[in-house]
């Protein structure tokens, strides 16, 4: 059994490779990240002490274009995790038919323990360390877990100082005033919402009779909850790091979001209030939310929350993975045996990278679009690629996850073949 995150991620790829006709060299390329950078970032704390933080950036593949992927701040960030995340970004770019390869980065830090000034010093220091490793035509970072548009703005500004030219196209997910795109902040949740709409049409669901639980109520979780609530779906439970809330009649999502955002720490960068502080709801644990009897479960927080230990207790008929890697390989097998439909992360949460691409295009052209234009472009692309995955799943008689990896492999394999494979160089092509 694969014993680390990157190897486990590759195991799913290898399984899909048995279903598609691609040059064997494609798998060889994808099994090894193109480049890995590890850095140390010295930060002067407000009390005058010096602390060193470890940071990483990984370029997994540039078969389809420059690297693209988020930067996360989390105490458990390590190189193995970042390699796996970069690999998933390669797959997302391929599935969404974007001219992007895969990259990812992060810093091992609990950002909630930093002051605003310390957070800025860390962010600018990290970019100084990796400035030679990124660039508008090389690798374009974006926000991820515990990073946001303000932090992206600091990073873009610092990179611009390093290279001595204004470079809004080096970072996506920025504030609008610094070249960000309308529609970017809620893009991950909106992309997942379009996937769920397509599935609802396929299964002929009545939204008012369809119950949904959302595990993780950050930006993506709030975005999809708001859209589903507006569409008439019954969101009965949500949770964050402080716990969860449940109401079998459905939650008033606008009020829940308002309550969640009511208080902040680190000078309005990170929310401190929990959904558990709201009244007139039943307080439940995060573990309890995962096993609620609902139609749809949306894991929207961190990885590895659905495991072989709790997969048998999952009662949802559909799982929409808005987080990266929320389901372990072992849990996946158990869910597939029970015929639970899983819309995989590399499809379900690809709305974020798609609108990041749109932001990059706007930065490079200087022509900025309206929010409606961005949303329409996202909707068209998400629905088209969802249909491509669903059609392939039916054609091959495989799960959505396996079909998604098969589609990614087909597109990556075409790029590898265009560069030349053994068949070309031994004269048999």
Residue 319 pairs with which residues in a beta bridge?
A: 297, 342
Per-residue pLDDT tens digits for 174-222: 999 999 999 998 999 999 999 999 999 999 999 999 999 999 998 899 9
Do the first three CATH levels of 31-178 and 187-348 match, i.e. the same topology? yes
Residue spans per domain, the chain = 31-178, 187-348, 398-429
- Write the DSSP assignment of 209-251 as a string of letters: G-EEEEE--SHHHHHHHHHHHHTT-EEEEEEETTEEEE-TT--
pLDDT (0 to 100) of residue 257: 87
pLDDT tens for residues 103-152?
999 999 999 999 999 999 999 999 999 999 999 999 999 999 899 999 99
Give the whole-angstrom CA distance, residue 24 versus residue 428.
15
Q: pLDDT tens digits for 369-394?
A: 999 999 999 999 999 999 999 999 99
Q: What is the mean pLDDT of residues 350-378?
A: 97
Interaxial angle between packed helices 187-203 and 351-365, expressed in degrees from 0 to 180 and rounded to the nearest 10: 130
Q: Which pLDDT band, with edges at 50, 70 and 90, does 224 fall under?
A: very high
Q: Are 426 and 369 in contact (CB under 8 A)?
A: no
Nearest alpha carbon to residue 184 among 168, 169, 172: 172
Residues near 115 by beta carbon (within 8 Å), at least 6 away in sequence: 46, 266, 267
Q: Are 221 and 298 in contact (CB under 8 A)?
A: yes
CATH H-level, domain 187-348: superfamily: NAD(P)-binding Rossmann-like Domain (3.40.50.720)
Domain 31-178, CATH number (from 3.40.50.720, 1.10.579.10, 3.40.50.10860, 3.20.20.140): 3.40.50.10860
Q: What is the DSSP letter of 350?
A: T
Q: Which positions are catalytic?
A: 104
Of 323, 289, 318, 284, nearest to 303 by C-alpha is 323
The pair phi, psi for residue 271, each rounded to 5°, is: -70, 140
Out of 26-30, 40-44, 58-62, 128-132, which region has the weakest mean confidence (pLDDT)?
A: 26-30
> Residue 179 corresponds to which tokens in the numbers above?
């070249």
CA–CA distance, 17 with 409 (Å, rounded to integer):
7
Phi, psi of 265, rounded to the nearest 5 degrees: -120, 175
Check: CB of residue 28 under 8 Å from CB of residue 418. Answer: no
Task: State the angle between helix axes of 400-419 and 79-95 in degrees (0 to 180), rounded to the nearest 10.
Answer: 80
61 forms bridges with which residues in the sheet?
Answer: 102
Q: What is the 3 state secondary structure string of 279-324?
A: CCCEEECHHHHHCCCCCEEEECCCCCCECCCCHHHCCCCEEECCCC
Distance in angstroms (rounded) separating the CA atoms of residues 214 and 321 = 10
Total Cβ atoms within 10 A of residue 117: 13
Query: Which of the two residues, 121 and 263, has the higher pLDDT score?
Result: 121
* Pair of tokens at residue 209: 């009779």
Query: How high is the pLDDT of residue 268?
Result: 31
Q: Report the pLDDT averaged over residues 339-367.
A: 96
Question: Nearest 5°: phi and psi at 11?
Answer: -60, -35
Q: Which residues of 259-289 are buried (b: 16+ CB within 10 A; e: fewer)?
A: bbeeeeebeebbbebbbbebeebebbebebb
In terms of average pLDDT, the best of 260-264, 269-273, 422-426 is 422-426
- Residue 179, Ramachandran bin (φ over 0: left; ψ between -120 and 50: alpha; else beta): left
């Amino acid at each position: 059994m694969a014993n680390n995150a990157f190897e486990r991620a590759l195991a799913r790829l290898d399984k899909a490779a048995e279903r598609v006709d691609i040059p064997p060299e494609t798998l060889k390329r994808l099994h090894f990240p193109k480049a890995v950078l590890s850095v140390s970032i010295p930060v002067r704390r407000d009390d005058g002490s010096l602390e060193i933080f470890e940071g990483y950036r990984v370029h997994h593949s540039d078969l389809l274009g420059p690297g693209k992927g988020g930067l996360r701040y989390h105490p458990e960030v390590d190189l193995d995790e970042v390699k796996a995340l970069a690999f998933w970004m390669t797959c997302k770019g391929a599935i969404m038919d974007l001219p992007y390869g895969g990259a990812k980065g992060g810093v091992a830090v609990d950002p909630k323990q930093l002051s605003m000034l310390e957070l800025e010093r860390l962010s600018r220091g990290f970019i100084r360390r990796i400035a030679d490793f990124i660039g508008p035509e090389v690798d374009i970072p974006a926000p991820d877990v515990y990073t946001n548009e303000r932090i992206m703005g600091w990073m873009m500004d610092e990179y611009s100082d390093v290279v001595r030219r204004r470079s809004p196209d080096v970072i996506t997910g920025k504030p609008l005033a610094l070249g960000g795109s309308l529609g970017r902040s809620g893009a991950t949740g909106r992309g997942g919402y379009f996937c769920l709409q397509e599935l609802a049409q396929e299964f002929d669901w009545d939204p008012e009779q369809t119950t949904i639980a959302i595990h993780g109520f950050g930006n993506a979780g709030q975005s999809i909850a708001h859209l589903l609530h507006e569409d008439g779906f019954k969101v009965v439970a949500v949770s964050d790091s402080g716990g969860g809330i449940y109401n079998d009649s459905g939650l008033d999502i606008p009020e829940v979001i308002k309550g969640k955002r009511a208080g902040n720490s680190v000078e309005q960068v990170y929310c401190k209030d929990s959904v558990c502080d709201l009244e007139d709801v039943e307080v439940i644990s995060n573990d309890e939310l995962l096993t609620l009897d609902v139609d749809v479960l949306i894991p929207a927080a961190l990885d590895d929350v659905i495991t072989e230990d709790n997969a048998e207790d999952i009662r949802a008929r559909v799982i929409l993975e808005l987080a990266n890697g929320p389901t372990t390989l072992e849990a996946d097998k158990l869910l597939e045996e029970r015929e639970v439909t899983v819309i995989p992360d590399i499809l379900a949460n690809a709305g974020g990278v798609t609108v990041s691409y749109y932001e990059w295009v706007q930065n490079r052209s200087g022509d900025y679009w309206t929010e409606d234009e961005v949303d329409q472009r996202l909707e068209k692309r998400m629905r088209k690629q969802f249909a491509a995955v669903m059609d392939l799943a039916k054609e091959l008689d495989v799960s959505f996850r396996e079909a998604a990896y098969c589609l990614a492999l087909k597109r990556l394999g075409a790029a590898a073949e265009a560069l030349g494979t053994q068949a070309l160089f031994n004269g048999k092509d």
